[in-house]
Amino acid sequence: MIDLVTLGESMALFTARRTGLLRHARDFGLGVGGAESNLAIGVSRMGRRAAWIGRVGADEFGELLRSTLAGEGVDVRGMIVDPEAPTGLMVKSRRTAELVDVRYYRSGSAGSRLCPDDLDLPTLRSARVLHVTGITLAISASAAETVRAAVAEARAAGVTVSLDVNYRRALWSPAEASAALRDVVASADVLFATEAEGRLLAEGDDPVCLAKSLSALGPRHVLVKRGPLGAVELSDGVVRHAEPYRVTELDPVGAGDAFAAGWLAETLEEADPERRLATACAAGAFAVTSEGDWESLPRRQDLTLLSPTDAVSR
């Protein structure tokens, strides 16, 4: 039985090993990245069964994605190998020690060709949670149609729908994102957003007011991620605040995916709300402690290693 199903595009990730202009880089690490697959790995590491649906090319990068996700315990039976399009690419570099730059090469990629016929409907209908992101809504018309079809199927089957806004300005404008996201938000049970992302959809001078405005759009659970300031959760009318964990940040990419994975994994465990939110913050903190989008995501036994009083705040 699959606990959580997610869908989207994952890509091969090249990471420059030296800080500075990308044109001067000569050595790169090779890995994989993608918001939805990051989350699936995070949920799997926390002991729940996660499945990822998406397209990859009939190339070595596609095989890298398959073997990496499968090796992390993610169900990849819904992975489709597209012989007519390549696996997308990401290139990550550091312009300075503090500034991470990520470039995407996904136009015409296999992942962008995701369509409703790709959905594994029996698995989706029997899952407990469907998780989608604004990224998949933005990469192509067919991918957006797939998200809407998956959400409709999940709602009809009584499956909890989780949405992470995950706004990417390289993919669409704020106005385009707001218009496309509103229908999905109205059908979502759980909404994850940073303060800036939340204000694409609603107004609020502070995170609590913003969470209430977002909740009025439909979701029962609204999580406002505040980075080094922690997080605010509004669930069934009850507001909870979470303090940040204090860690040394090495790579901020993937923190939001880890936060969502921790919260959803604890929801699947039927944990109490305080533990659910604390685990989300701990998972987000772990995600920034090493290079890579998902490599430092925690397993359940790791959660005792962090203390809110340690080192540098993130």
Burial class from Cβ neighbours inside 10 Å (0-12, 13-18, 19+) for residue 122 reads exposed
What one-character DSSP code corresponds to residue 40?
Answer: H
Q: How many CB atoms lie within 10 A of CB 196?
A: 10
Instruction: Answer whether 7's CB lies under 8 Å from 36's CB.
Output: yes
Pairing of strands 50-57, 28-33: unpaired
DSSP string, 267-300: HHTT--HHHHHHHHHHHHHHHTSSSSSSTTPPPG
The catalytic residue among 75, 164, 257, 293 is: 257
Instruction: Please name the residues in contact with 44: beta carbons below 8 A apart, sequence gap of 6 or more.
Output: 50, 72, 73, 74
Radius of gyration of the chain (CA): 18
Are 222 and 191 in contact by the 8 Å Cβ rule? The answer is: yes
Among 56, 63, 75, CA closest to 30: 63
DSSP 117: G
**Order of all β-strands in the sheet with 89-94:** 28-33, 11-19, 89-94, 100-105
257 is catalytic: yes
Measured in whole angstroms, the distance separating CA 43 from the mean position of its chain's CA atoms is: 11
Query: Burial, 309: exposed, middle or buried (Cβ in 10 Å; 0-12, 13-18, 19+)?
Result: exposed
Tell me the two tokens of residue 138.
């933005």
Q: If we measure between CA atoms, which residue out of 269, 262, 271 comes closest to residue 231? A: 262
Contact between 5 and 128 (Cβ < 8 Å): no
What residues are annotated to the active site?
A: 257
